[in-house]
Structure 1
């Protein structure tokens, strides 16, 4: 798809772009299904299954700590997959990341409980969570840039938004399967052993995802990089030449979205059921409906970004998330189910305003020959600083303060930092990136090679 910004792509190129966008959506949905399945289980199941000797509060904190382990592993996955994605191609690395996530999730469903093997149960849980994190670390940036690099002119944000839809899509899929399995089996059987079924189902879902992903063609941007002999030996180091100010501001701009999203998707389940006496099923259904709203609004926001520019939308969305964080927990704390639904649906409506374009903002930071490595560094750095620690920090703040006030201030503070980072970032750099590959050959850090 070698079109200039002013050329219309051919019918075949448009079909390839559409097929790639749907393939990245399918793949990221399945990977996030596996990842969020763990989050839901950590909030509701794992404290009893793997940490029964701890108090309910300490057990929940321990379960969320294992949830955070996956985020600690994500930068490693991002660096490894990013390196090879910039050297041998995007397609192969995305296939491997999907397989790795499927293996990790399937084996989690087979881990014996603490009662059966004692200390080794949480050890195995943490180990497989690391495998999950490494797999997802390779997926996040790779899927976004793969879809974006196939995008027709003028639709960069729209196509980059398809992989972003996999986040709420995976949450919806995970929660629906979780709910259906629980409803069919009953609470006791589900808590005892039925929770394993959704994890074991990962094997089938990933097999389907692989069939779809293997049919995707390599990124045209990477094909041009290879044809122009612009593959570099150490792409991560080369990506640092973008400069520390832009890298740091980009990281700050995206960190709040991750933190708020994981408090909304994961921490809310344990907080609402254990401290506010909301029914677990009610909370899961409400979060699922909010995630579905998040999913369907992403194409709307990305089309607006393509038509009117994404910087104003991103800054306005960042401000809106901050304001809603002020109201979110007070609405939940009323104990009124209707107001709780309003709080959760508000998150589902506001979070996608920034989430839908943060991928394209990150990808546009780097030239094509180091894009996978650089984007992975920013994306996974934001994920670990924001999302990975958010449920654990929120639980610790709740336990120490006895109320949600500390959690609210934590979210408001991190949103203010991201808003300031976004404003500074857009003053520093133009909204749109230059052509995917620089016209002049790039001088590699330590020589070239395939």
Structure 2
């Protein structure tokens, strides 16, 4: 039971009765928050292809240097579940405000510090070790940025528009990518290669801290509202103990990890992996592909929005199932497109982002609706952390390794395996809910 002191910890310095916010206000806060998180991660991901191989791994060939840079990318995804566990404890003991403040400042500080790390030529192996520690710190901090605002947005929205509002937090990913890609494109185009690799690459990392500060205040404003208080007191936005969550919803948590697997694998197959492939094996200019990435992500924004309308008409999980099938089909076509020069690469990116947007737009809402209300906050956070780790964390290094030694078709088969896992997981979810409906006679209407 939530006592008054626990509630007070989330409202210190605020009078929740002073104002109320509409779903549109919550949506703005959610988009700003998610954009900051994805911006930080995309800045690192892009740098792992075009900066770190030469600065941190100059003693390796470009391919090996990129693969080891992708190991650094993976570290944050491995650390994220650990961060989720740590910050859930902080949430229970000190409140949501303390948790978000520590997490976002930790995320911003880790990202800024990455821009200060000297090269291998200056610091030797310590440069790699420091960058690895900062990347782990970034992942731990990201585990604490789960704020429950997506759930608040869903329950605050009209029933017939829940799919539309569920897609709003997902807009942060393509928007964050657009900003990061265009910023790097501008820097690459406006300075010499020597200046960019020496100091120009650092600017996007410095920008991240300012973005995180804006995101923090946007989120804290929402947490101080009566709507958040009400959902917190009814336990829907309250962090539950991990042991209790696993004992009550453990089966749903395990299945839930695989539901968005195809979506999260596709996420890096149209962002980091093609950038590395084009940069290493084609003659395309870096600015061309970074600009293409930004344009394709804009198609992704439109596709995410479309997923909201389609979801409200046909159902979230139906849309996820169609998305997994489309991802499977794309995985077979992708090798042909990526080998097709500028036009093929453009088709790969634009079609890929359209498919990704339709699926990614509903991946979070479909998973959250699988859990009991009292466990939804904690279960959703852990499912998200592990799904990102298995789906997206291993994708860049696995796809680049397979495509280099076995051919692009092998990377396509890797993506296809994720689509198959999602289809099976969605079938298992439906079977579990069918049994629940048969035994109880009804089911929570958010679970669809």
> Normalised by the size of structure 2, how large is the TM-score?
0.87
In the alignment, is residue 238 of structure 1 matched against residue 248 of structure 2?
A: no
- CA-CA distance at 1:364 after TM superposition: 1.5
Partner of 1:357: 362
Query: Is 1:89–1:222's contact at 8 Å kept on the other side of the alignment?
Result: no
Distance 1:233 1:69 in 2: 25
Matched with 1:265 is 271
Alignment of 1:273-352 (within 5 A): 273-334=279-340, 336-352=341-357
* CA-CA distance at 1:21 after TM superposition: 1.2
**Partner secondary structure for residue 247 of structure 1:** helix
Shift of 1:244: 4.3
Which 5+ residue runs of structure 2 have no aligned equivalent? 1-18
Contact 2:249 2:372 in 1 (8 A): no
Aligned to 1:211: 217
Q: Tell me, yes or no, if the aligned pair for 2:104 and 2:213 is still in contact at 8 Å.
A: no
TM-score (norm 1): 0.87
Q: Which of 369, 372, 376 is matched with 2:374 structurally?
A: 369
Assess, with a 3 A threshold, how the Cα gap between structure 1 residues 228 and 328 changes in structure 2: closer, same or farther. Answer: closer
Offset of residue 343 of structure 1: 1.0
Q: Which residue of 2 aligns with 1:427?
A: 431
Rounded Cα–Cα distance in structure 1 between residues aligned with 2:144 and 2:357: 22
Aligned pairs, number: 422
Give the Cα–Cα distance (whole angstroms) in 2 for the partners of residues 197 and 223 of structure 1. 39
Deviation at 1:423, TM superposition (A): 2.4
* Counterpart-to-counterpart distance in 2, 1:216 and 1:289: 31
The alpha-carbon distance between structure 1 residues 228 and 170, as it changes in their structure 2 partners (threshold 3 A), is closer
1:407 and 2:411 correspond = yes
Larger mean Cα displacement after TM superposition, 180-189 or 378-387: 180-189
Please give the per-residue CA displacement for 1:52-86, whole angstroms capped at 9, x wherever unaligned.
Answer: 11121111111000000010111112222344446
Alpha-carbon displacement from aligned partner over 1:99-158 (angstroms, at most 9, x marks no partner): 221111111111111111111111111111111111222235744334334434333222
Q: Give the C-alpha shift of residue 179 in structure 1.
A: 0.9
Distance 1:218 1:298, change over 3 A: farther
Contact 1:91–1:216 (CA under 8 A) maintained in structure 2:
no
Provide the alpha-carbon RMSD of the alignment: 2.5
| Offset of residue 394 of structure 1 | 1.4
Cα 1:88/1:20, change in 2 over 3 Å: farther
User: Is the CA contact (8 Å cut-off) linking 1:86 and 1:372 kept in structure 2?
Assistant: no
Greater Cα offset, 53-62 or 292-301:
292-301
Residues 86 and 351 of structure 1, relative CA distance in 2, 3 Å threshold: farther
1:30 aligns to what?
36
Partners of 1:318 and 1:415 within 8 A in 2: yes
CA-CA distance at 1:171 after TM superposition? 0.8
CA distance in 1 between counterparts of 2:79 and 2:149 reads 18
- Does structure 1 residue 198 correspond to structure 2 residue 204? yes
CA offset digits 1:309-352 (Å, max 9, x no partner): 21221111110111011111211112x21121011100110011
Deviation at 1:221, TM superposition (A): 7.3
SS of match in other structure, 2:423: helix
Alignment gaps of 5+ in structure 1? 1-11, 437-450
Match of residue 99 from structure 2: 93
For the Cα contact (< 8 Å) 1:49–1:113, is it kept in 2? yes
Match of 2:64 among 39, 52, 58: 58
Contact (CA 8 Å) 1:168, 1:291: kept in 2 or not?
Answer: yes
Candidates 32, 36, 47, aligned match of 1:41: 47
Aligned to 1:439: none
Contact 2:188-2:196 within 8 A present in 1 as well: yes
Query: Which SS does the other structure have where 2:259 is aligned?
Result: helix
Cα distance per residue 1:177-228 (max 9 Å; x no partner): 1111222223221122210011111222222223322321357676346545
Q: Is the 8 A contact 2:259 2:367 kept in 1?
A: no
Q: Distance in 2 between matches of 1:235 and 1:370?
A: 9
Q: Is the 8 A contact 1:110 1:200 kept in 2?
A: no
Q: CA deviation at 1:416?
A: 1.3
